[in-house]
């Protein structure tokens, strides 16, 4: 077990290295194919109508004149050994892990990422609770009452939930509940949990529900299919033959087995989400990792892009490892080696 | 009235293709301490019968009719909750494939404890001790250790022993074993059958063994019921079935029976063709398309459903052939062929 | 130029609504006669804030809630180059001069701010002197002196540290050769460029005569910075205020709040009423949500001030109550097509004229979003809000739909009677530019000019594609669509960057097509002309030369659709800012 975890972590680390190299490559090598010079790269980070002198200075400051390998090496060195940042009036130490400084704002990337994690995590955890509870219970009821009106309505709604994009449902929900009825706060509302838990939940209510709606739909459909399958298993018949109450047959024997594939999906979904719920955070203006990612990409701010990509990938890797470990706990037939 | 009395049991399933008459007018009875073998090919309705007795078809789409009297109580008209309380306690079941019939995520002990605690208001510790006892009684070595093992960690025979331990955990008065040995090696089969016989004696329960293999029930059963196409075609004592069988289908089953004095693959009198569809049951005698003697009925085989008639001393047969002709065929054709090594 | 956020895209539905709802509107003047300027009663009606102060008030107090759909480039006065930032920054900085606050054409003029009066040029136009008022203080109570202004100008020179800010002063002033900025070469004396001759006198020394200095010094490079509080690139985290408000909190990229600066003396500042007690700004707000919040009232000020998103336009324009809350000014911005003489056969002026004649101006305007969301059909380069602008039309056609006969004549004169084929570039992530390219393709096909359309990403459009001289030559780009907005509303501010051939370099060009020595000569003449009226005339000459040259095809003089926030008082559109005048605002 321990060796398994260690091996997986080493693999994950190697994957992060590859991801960072690919991201770096996309950023630098692809424009070079199109014939971009260091100055052309630098011209993305200056004010409009900047003079060639300004552009050349910026190219030098951002290190674009060095070979890509050297720039990558500098980035990696910053990650493990820290770096120094010259802000004009002085030099600042950027301790490891130093993801560098934004090309645009000059702000260090790592503190910004850390600062934004609670937002995304709050969003993800609340939505996850909602969608798992709602999706699984609707899926179970649908499976048990297969073909009923309830089944048809809930599966129809689920289809809508899967097909409607967040920026649509999110915007509609804001217009109706926040600006129309005034039940929920306007977009951009965010309070830290430690400051005021009630306000925290109130502000996140709408994003939670909107995000959960999307996922609950998938989970309901998956749970329904899984339940239909497991409820036909021999061991369900055995449980009934023992005289077990039907609700216990469903939850303890049926659901337990049906939830295993859902656990895998949940791990990956949750891992992706805490790496940044891009659409939800953009729609509701939540200052989380997803908003950070979209801004970084829009601004072509490489250090920010690298930071958020690696953090998000790290979350996914950890989540999938946790899922594998949990899997072994849930299903005793799985042995990790 | 017997301990178990089943009268004119019908279990029909409406499907998109038509009504499936899985069990169509079945009657039998069984006393405590006695064993009934229900024999037939797959699809003959034997497993459905057992599930019907346990009430496991209630609430589904199945249509049940007839009467099931267990120890003076009628079960078909009883509430689902009442039947549930009897399940596992008064009547229990052992299933064919112990691997798929035990929950893969729970330990064997957990599943026995669960079965015990449904019907007995005891602490987990007490139930666990009981589970260890039960595992020991069904011949599982080191039960204190094995109680925490998962089903997939057991061998096939051990699993079936565990399954039996689970079924017997609440001391049921009626035990139904559905193909209890089919999934097992031949040597293990014998051990399990011995175990079941011993336990039945010990618990004095009524036992129904459901199988497609007459050999399994030969030594265990007091009575044997042969099913074909959802109906009983022959019903009698074990001696009746083995020494005085009167139905051509029973003859076929006897011919298909593996015997220790023959090569296992050898089949003297295989039954040609395949079991009937339960939606489009052949007209007249359901067995007629496969019956080698159908032409001897003078055409009645296709037009009339033969009645289940008593020949002598509780021996019931459903066949258009003359009794004399059947006796003649058995004595002169079938029996000599079966006895030829 | 100050960057403007282009509207992200035009929803066709919104466009249809725009066209049907507002067929009559247009023009830089309001379509409804404004009520008398004194009329204080706030009557919500479209365009009232263009000519008068809407909901005038002197009531102090309250919180102004503002939001921005993206991030600030920088809050540091040396490092910012957005129009909204110049406008909003005046809450916490003061510069030597500023646009006269308020509505109407007066908003295009500059008035003193820190300075006692406007700049005093030397007779040769190469030295400009500003005298500071007395009683000026930073937020910590230390007096603001001429040295702080000179230091601020000098620190803005360092483009390695302040990458975003404008570089006008870098190019205009006579910097010492060895000066590399106040951080890298702290010992080099920069008094040859800017100096404080005493505590209240700032003197600028220019390389060559320059008449528009008063416009340049209203930019935030002249906002004073105390040297001992200067932290270079980190100064934006804690800017020391010289204006009526100071920072209470500042979370870069997320939000900040301003509160009253008790060291600011209103007696020194007739221009800022400083009404709210508090100003809250949220950054990176979803643009569509921002519009909805502006409509509903949970946000009172849309900071970018470039107009509403297409989604909101579709909602606002058909609703009379909402439309009454809007203003639709023409802004000093031109959307246009460069007709590039480097690409054959456009090297021949007659072929370029054929493009002018063949273009369908109405179709082009529609491509840009129509008369309300897009703008007014442009017939020449300089937009109407520019001081001294004259409207003229060298290529007039019936109903503005182009003149096929004249286009064919021009083609014949060019030696291409059957037309020719060339490439047209546009920014593929801007739906309006794509629509324009398609409209041009159709219109020019009428005379046999075939256009191959080439879309490029906006982020590298000028560095790698249309603004890259080699790329244009090698790939035969004949037409390139883009736009230009003015830094300040005079001829130099608008024209110089896009028509002076001497600004052309290898890459990153905005002038893609105007390479006429006569134009360059006129520009020099105009820059040095100290008489405002004569100067304006010269810029009109430049405009005419460019149009005769047929190297720019004007499309529309842009208009924006602004919405007045709910509960906002003392609101007016300022032509100098080309958005609402933020420092006037108050809340109910």
Q: What would the pLDDT profile of A325-334 be if each residue is shown by its tens digit?
A: 888 888 888 7
Task: Tell whether the model's pLDDT for residue A1 goes beyond 90.
Answer: no
Residue C4: pLDDT band with limits 50, 70, 90: very low
Q: What is the pLDDT of residues C249-285, one digit of tens each?
A: 999 888 999 999 999 999 999 999 999 999 999 999 9
A-chain CB neighbours of C459 within 8 Å are 44, 300
Q: Which residue has the higher pLDDT, C7 or A102?
A: A102
Cα R_g (chain B), whole angstroms: 21
Query: What local confidence, expressed as pLDDT, does residue A184 receive?
Result: 87
Residue A89: list chain C partners with CB under 8 A. Answer: 183, 230-235
Give the model's pLDDT for residue B7: 92
User: Which residues are CB-neighbours of C26 under 8 A, at least 6 positions away?
Assistant: C371, C372, C376, C559
pLDDT at C22 over 60: no
| CB–CB contact A88 C160 (8 Å) | yes
Q: If pLDDT is split at 50, 70 and 90, which confidence band does C20 have?
A: very low
**pLDDT(C415) > 80:** yes
Asked if the C-beta of C8 comes within 8 angstroms of chain A's C-beta atoms, the answer is no
Q: Which helix (H) or strand (E) holds A315?
A: helix A302-330
Distance from CA of A150 to the nearest CA of B (A): 18
The reported pLDDT for the residue numbered C430 is 85
Minimal C-alpha gap between B196 and chain A (Å): 18
Q: Does the pLDDT value for residue C573 go beyond 70?
A: yes
β-strand B73-74 against B63-70: which pairing, if any?
Answer: antiparallel
Instruction: Give yes or no for residue C334 having a pLDDT over 90.
Output: yes
Question: What average pLDDT does the segment C405-431 reach?
Answer: 93
Residue in A44, A112, A171 nearest the CB of C289:
A171
Distance CA B252, CA B290 (A): 10
Helix (H, G, I), strand (E, B) or coil at A36: coil
- A188-236 pLDDT, tens digit each: 888 888 889 999 999 999 999 999 988 888 899 899 999 999 988 889 9
**Interchain CB contact of C497 with A (< 8 Å):** yes
CA distances from residue A103 to A297, B141, C3 in whole angstroms, order as listed: 12, 71, 18
Measured CA to CA in angstroms, residue C264 lies from C240, C271, C272, C451 at distances of: 12, 13, 11, 59
Q: What is the pLDDT of residue B260?
A: 55
- C-alpha span between C523 and C499 (Å, rounded): 9
Band of residue B268 on the pLDDT scale cut at 50, 70, 90: low
| CB < 8 Å to B114, chain A | 242, 244
| CB < 8 Å to C164, chain A | 46-47
User: DSSP for B23-44?
Assistant: EEEEEEEE-TT-EEEEE--TTS
Nearest CA in chain A to B53: A241
Q: Using the predicted structure, report yes or no on whether residue B204 has a pLDDT greater than 60.
A: yes
- Among A45, A87, A112, beta carbon nearest to C231: A87
Q: What is the pLDDT of residue B176?
A: 92
Q: Rounded to 5, what percent of chain A is helix, strand, coil?
A: 75, 5, 25
Is a pLDDT exceeding 90 seen at residue A172? no
- The gap from C-alpha A156 to its chain's centroid, in whole angstroms, comes to 27
pLDDT surpasses 80 at C181: yes
pLDDT value for C31: 35
Each residue of A302-319: pLDDT tens digit? 889 999 999 998 888 888
Backbone angles phi and psi of C21, in degrees to 5:
-80, -25
The 10s digit of each residue's pLDDT in B12-46 is 988 888 888 889 889 999 999 999 999 988 888 88
Is pLDDT of C33 > 60?
A: no
Instruction: Give SS3 for A91.
Output: strand
Q: Which of B46, B53, B41 shows the shortest CA–CA distance to B7?
A: B53
Check CB contact of A237 with chain B, cutoff 8 Å: yes
- Quick one: average pLDDT of A29-41? 76
Of B89, B105, B150, the CB nearest to A330: B105
Q: Are the CB atoms for A168 and A213 separated by under 8 Å?
A: no
For residue A157, pLDDT beyond 90: no
A148/B contact by beta carbon, under 8 A: no
Residues β-bridged to residue B69: B5, B74
A171 touches chain C (CB under 8 A): yes
pLDDT score, position C3: 47
> Is residue B297 very low, low, confident or very high in pLDDT (cuts 50, 70, 90)?
confident
Q: How far is the CA of A229 from the CAs of A219, A246, B56, in angstroms?
A: 15, 17, 18
Which chain A residues are closer than 8 Å to B152 by Cβ? 332-333
For residue B168, the chain A residue with the least C-alpha distance is A242
Instruction: Give the residue from C247, C302, C238 showing the smallest Cα distance to C278.
Output: C247
Chain C residues near residue A174 by CB distance under 8 angstroms: 289, 292
- A90 interface with C at CB cutoff 8 Å: yes
**Banded pLDDT at B60 (limits 50, 70, 90):** low
> Tokens at residue C306, please?
């470039």
Query: Which member of C71, C289, C459 has the closest CB to residue A285?
Result: C289
The number of C-beta contacts closer than 8 angstroms across A and C is: 157
CA C35, chain centre distance (Å): 28
What pLDDT is recorded for position B263? 55
d(CA A94, CA A88): 15
Please tell me if residue A47 touches chain B, with a CB cutoff of 8 Å: no
Q: Which of B101, B115, B152 sits opposite A234 (nearest CB)?
A: B101
Which C residues 61-90 touch A at CB under 8 Å?
67, 70-71, 73-74, 81
Burial class (CB in 10 A: 0-12, 13-18, 19+), A84: exposed
Asked if the Cβ–Cβ distance from A282 to C462 is below 8 Å, we say no
CA distance C383 to C578: 12
Q: Which of A89, A101, A107, A169 to mutate to test the interface with C (most CBs of C within 10 A)?
A: A89
pLDDT score for C314: 86
At residue B199, does pLDDT exceed 70? yes
Please, what is the average pLDDT of chain C? 89
Most confident of A15-24, A58-67, C93-102, C367-376: C93-102
| Residue pLDDT, tens place only, B155-180 | 888 898 899 889 888 888 999 998 88
Q: Which residues contact C293 (CB under 8 A, 6 or more apart)?
A: A179, A186, A187, A188, C67, C285, C299
As a whole number of angstroms, the distance between CA C362 and CA C430 comes to: 19
What ipTM, to 2 d.p.?
Answer: 0.85
DSSP tag of C462:
I
| Rg, Å, chain A Cα set | 24
Q: Which of B14, B48, B56, B104 has the highest number of chain A CBs within 10 A, making it the mutation to test binding with A? A: B104
Contacts of A308 in chain C (CB under 8 A): none
What DSSP string runs through C269-303?
-TT-----SEEEEE-S--HHHHHHHHHHTS--EET
Q: In this model, does residue C482 exceed pLDDT 70? A: yes
Interface membership of C567 toward A (CB under 8 Å): no
Residues 144-163, chain A, touching C (beta carbon < 8 A) = none
Does C have 3 or more CB contacts under 8 Å with B? no
Q: What is the mean pLDDT of residues B68-92?
A: 90
Q: How far is CA A291 from the centre of its chain?
A: 11
- List strands edge to edge, sheet with C255-260: C245-251, C255-260, C278-282, C63-67, C301-302
Residues of chain A numbered 178-237 and touching chain C (CB < 8 Å): 178-179, 186-188
Does residue C584 register a pLDDT over 60?
Answer: yes
Please name the member of A52, A88, A188 whose beta carbon is closest to the beta carbon of C158. Answer: A88
Does the beta-carbon distance from A235 to B104 stay under 8 Å?
Answer: yes
Output phi, psi for A187, to 5 deg.
-55, 150
Among B73, B77, B60, B71, CA closest to B22:
B60
Alpha-carbon distance values, B177 to B114, B207, C224, C364 (Å): 20, 8, 96, 85
Those chains having 3 or more beta-carbon pairs within 8 angstroms of chain A are B, C
Nearest to A105 among C253, C293, C295 (CB): C253
Q: Does A106 touch chain C (CB under 8 A)?
A: yes
Question: Pick the residue with more confidence: A35 or C447?
Answer: C447
**Test the C interface: residue of A30, A47, A210 with most C CBs within 10 Å:** A47
Name the residue in chain A with its Cα closest to that of B111: A239
Helix, coil or strand: residue B309 = strand
Minimal-distance CA residue of chain A relative to C254: A287
d(CA C121, CA C115): 14
Across the interface, whether the CB atoms of B87 and A243 are under 8 A apart is answered yes
Distance of residue C216 Cα from the nearest chain A Cα, in angstroms: 15
Question: Within 13 Å and on the Cβ side, how many CA atoms surround A282?
Answer: 19
C-chain residues near A285 (CB < 8 A): 282, 284-286, 289
- What average pLDDT score do residues C398-414 get? 94
- Give the pLDDT confidence score for residue C516 in this predicted structure: 93
Q: Of the spans A42-46, B282-286, C386-390, C541-545, which averages the highest pLDDT?
A: C541-545
Q: Which residues contact B107 (CB under 8 A, 6 or more apart)?
A: A332, B147, B148, B149, B150
On whether any CB of chain A is under 8 Å from the CB of B103, the answer is yes
pLDDT at site C206: 96
Which chain B residues are Cβ-neighbours of A243 within 8 angstroms? 84-89, 115, 118-119
Residue B179 sits at φ, ψ, to 5 deg, of 45, 55
Residues in A touching C285 (Cβ below 8 Å): 187-188, 285
């Amino acid at each position: 077990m321990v060796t398994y975890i260690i091996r997986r972590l080493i693999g994950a680390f190697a994957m992060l290295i590859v991801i960072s190299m690919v991201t770096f490559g996309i950023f630098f090598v692809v424009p070079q194919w199109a014939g971009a010079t260091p100055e052309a790269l630098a011209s993305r980070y200056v004010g409009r109508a900047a003079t060639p002198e300004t552009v050349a200075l910026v190219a030098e400051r951002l290190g674009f004149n060095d070979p890509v390998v050297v720039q990558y090496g500098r980035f990696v060195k910053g990650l493990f050994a820290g770096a120094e940042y010259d802000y004009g009036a002085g030099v600042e130490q950027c301790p490891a892990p130093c993801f560098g400084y934004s090309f645009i704002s000059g702000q260090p990337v790592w503190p910004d990422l850390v600062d934004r994690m609670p937002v995304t995590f709050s969003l993800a955890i609340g939505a996850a609770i909602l969608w798992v509870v709602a999706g699984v219970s609707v899926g179970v009821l649908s499976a048990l009452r297969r073909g009923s009106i309830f089944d048809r309505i809930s599966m129809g709604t689920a289809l809508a939930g899967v097909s409607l994009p967040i920026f649509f449902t999110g915007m509609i929900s804001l217009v109706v509940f926040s600006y129309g009825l005034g039940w929920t706060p306007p977009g951009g509302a965010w309070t830290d949990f430690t400051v005021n838990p009630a306000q925290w939940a109130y502000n996140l209510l709408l994003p939670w529900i909107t995000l959960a709606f999307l996922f609950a739909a998938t989970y309901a459909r998956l749970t329904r299919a899984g339940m239909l399958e497991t409820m036909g298993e021999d061991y369900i018949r055995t449980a009934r033959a023992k005289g077990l109450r039907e609700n216990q047959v469903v939850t303890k024997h049926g659901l337990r087995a049906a939830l295993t594939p859902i656990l895998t999906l949940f791990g990956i979904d949750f891992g992706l989400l805490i790496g940044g719920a891009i659409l939800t955070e953009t729609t509701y203006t939540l200052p989380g990792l997803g908003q950070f990612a979209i801004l970084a990409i829009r601004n072509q701010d490489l250090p920010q892009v690298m930071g958020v990509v690696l953090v998000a990938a790290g979350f996914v890797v950890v989540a999938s490892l946790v899922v594998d470990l949990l899997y072994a706990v849930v299903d005793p037939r799985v042995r990790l080696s | 009235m017997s301990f178990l009395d089943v009268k004119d049991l019908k279990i029909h399933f409406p499907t998109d293709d038509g009504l499936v008459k899985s069990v169509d007018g079945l009657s039998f009875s069984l006393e405590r301490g006695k064993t009934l073998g229900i024999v037939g090919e797959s699809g003959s309705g034997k497993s459905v019968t057992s599930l019907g007795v346990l009430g496991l078809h209630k609430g589904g789409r199945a249509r049940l009719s007839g009467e099931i009297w267990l120890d003076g109580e009628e079960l078909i008209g009883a509430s689902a909750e009442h039947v549930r309380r009897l399940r596992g306690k008064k009547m229990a079941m052992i299933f064919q494939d112990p691997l798929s019939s035990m929950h893969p995520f729970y330990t064997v002990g957990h599943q026995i404890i669960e079965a015990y605690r449904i019907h007995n208001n005891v602490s987990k510790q007490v139930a666990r001790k009981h589970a260890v006892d039960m595992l020991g009684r069904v011949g599982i070595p080191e039960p204190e250790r094995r109680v925490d093992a998962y089903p997939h960690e057991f061998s096939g025979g051990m699993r079936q022993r565990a399954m039996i331990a689970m079924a017997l955990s609440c001391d049921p008065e009626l035990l139904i074993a559905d193909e209890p040995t089919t999934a097992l090696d031949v040597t293990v089969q014998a051990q399990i059958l011995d175990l079941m016989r011993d336990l039945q004696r010990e618990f004095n329960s009524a036992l129904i063994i459901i199988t497609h293999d007459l050999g399994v029930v030969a030594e265990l059963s007091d009575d044997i019921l042969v099913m074909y196409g959802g109906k009983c075609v022959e019903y009698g004592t074990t001696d009746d079935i083995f020494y005085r069988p009167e139905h051509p289908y029973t003859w076929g089953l006897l011919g298909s029976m593996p015997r220790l004095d023959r090569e296992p693959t050898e089949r003297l009198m295989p039954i040609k063709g395949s079991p009937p569809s339960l939606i489009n049951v052949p007209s007249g005698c359901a067995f007629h398309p496969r019956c080698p003697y159908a032409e001897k009925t003078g055409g009645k085989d296709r037009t009339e459903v033969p009645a289940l008639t008593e020949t002598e001393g509780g021996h019931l047969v459903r066949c258009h052939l003359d009794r004399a002709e059947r006796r003649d065929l058995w004595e002169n054709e079938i029996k000599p062929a079966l006895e030829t090594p | 130029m100050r960057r403007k956020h282009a509207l992200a895209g035009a929803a066709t539905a919104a466009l249809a609504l725009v066209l049907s709802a507002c067929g009559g509107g247009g023009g830089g003047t309001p379509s409804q006669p404004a009520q008398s300027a004194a009329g204080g009663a706030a009557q919500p009606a479209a365009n009232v804030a263009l000519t008068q102060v809407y909901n005038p008030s002197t009531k102090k107090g309250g919180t102004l809630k503002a939001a921005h759909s993206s991030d600030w480039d920088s809050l540091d006065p040396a490092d910012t180059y957005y129009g909204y930032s110049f406008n909003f920054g005046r809450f916490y900085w003061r510069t030597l001069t500023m646009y006269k606050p308020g509505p109407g054409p007066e908003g295009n003029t500059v008035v003193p701010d820190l300075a006692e009066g406007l700049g005093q040029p030397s007779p040769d136009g190469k030295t400009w002197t500003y005298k500071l008022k007395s009683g000026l203080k930073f937020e910590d109570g230390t007096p603001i002196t001429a040295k702080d202004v000179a230091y601020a100008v000098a620190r803005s020179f360092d483009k390695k540290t302040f990458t975003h800010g404008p570089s006008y002063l870098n190019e205009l002033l006579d910097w010492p050769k060895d000066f590399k900025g106040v951080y890298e070469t702290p010992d080099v004396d920069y008094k040859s460029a800017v100096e404080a001759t005493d505590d209240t006198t700032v003197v600028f020394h220019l390389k060559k005569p320059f008449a528009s200095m008063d416009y340049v010094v209203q930019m935030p490079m002249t906002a004073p910075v105390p040297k001992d509080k200067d932290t270079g690139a980190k100064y934006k985290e804690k800017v020391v205020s010289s204006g009526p408000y100071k920072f209470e909190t500042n979370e870069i990229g997320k939000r900040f709040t301003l509160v009253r600066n008790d060291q600011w003396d209103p007696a020194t500042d007739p221009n800022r009423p400083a009404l709210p007690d508090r100003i809250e700004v949220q950054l990176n707000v979803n643009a569509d949500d921002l519009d909805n919040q502006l409509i509903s009232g949970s946000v009172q000020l849309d900071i970018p001030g470039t107009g509403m998103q297409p989604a909101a336009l579709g909602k606002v324009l058909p609703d009379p109550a909402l439309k009454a809350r809007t203003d639709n000014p023409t802004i000093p911005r031109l959307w246009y097509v460069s007709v590039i003489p480097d690409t054959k056969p456009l090297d021949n002026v007659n072929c370029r004229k054929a493009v002018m004649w063949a273009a369908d101006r109405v179709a082009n305007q529609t491509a840009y979003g129509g008369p309300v969301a897009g703008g007014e059909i442009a017939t020449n380069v300089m937009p109407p809000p520019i001081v001294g602008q004259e409207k003229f039309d060298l290529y007039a056609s019936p109903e503005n739909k182009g003149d096929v006969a004249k286009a064919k004549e021009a083609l014949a004169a060019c030696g291409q009677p059957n037309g020719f084929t060339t490439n047209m570039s546009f920014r593929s992530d801007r739906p309006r530019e794509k629509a324009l390219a398609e409209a041009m393709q159709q219109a020019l096909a009428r005379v046999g000019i075939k256009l191959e359309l080439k879309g490029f990403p906006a982020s590298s459009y000028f560095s790698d594609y249309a603004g890259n001289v080699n790329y244009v030559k090698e790939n035969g780009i004949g037409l390139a669509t883009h736009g230009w907005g003015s830094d300040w509303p005079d001829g130099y501010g608008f024209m110089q960057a896009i028509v002076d051939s001497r600004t052309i370099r290898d890459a990153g060009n905005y002038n893609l097509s105007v390479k006429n020595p006569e134009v360059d000569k006129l520009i020099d003449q105009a820059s040095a002309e100290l008489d405002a009226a004569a100067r304006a005339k010269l810029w009109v000459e430049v405009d005419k030369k460019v149009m005769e040259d047929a190297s720019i095809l004007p499309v529309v003089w842009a208009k924006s659709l602004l919405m007045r926030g709910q509960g906002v008082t003392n609101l007016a559109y300022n032509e100098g800012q080309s958005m609402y005048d933020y420092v006037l605002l108050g809340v109910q």
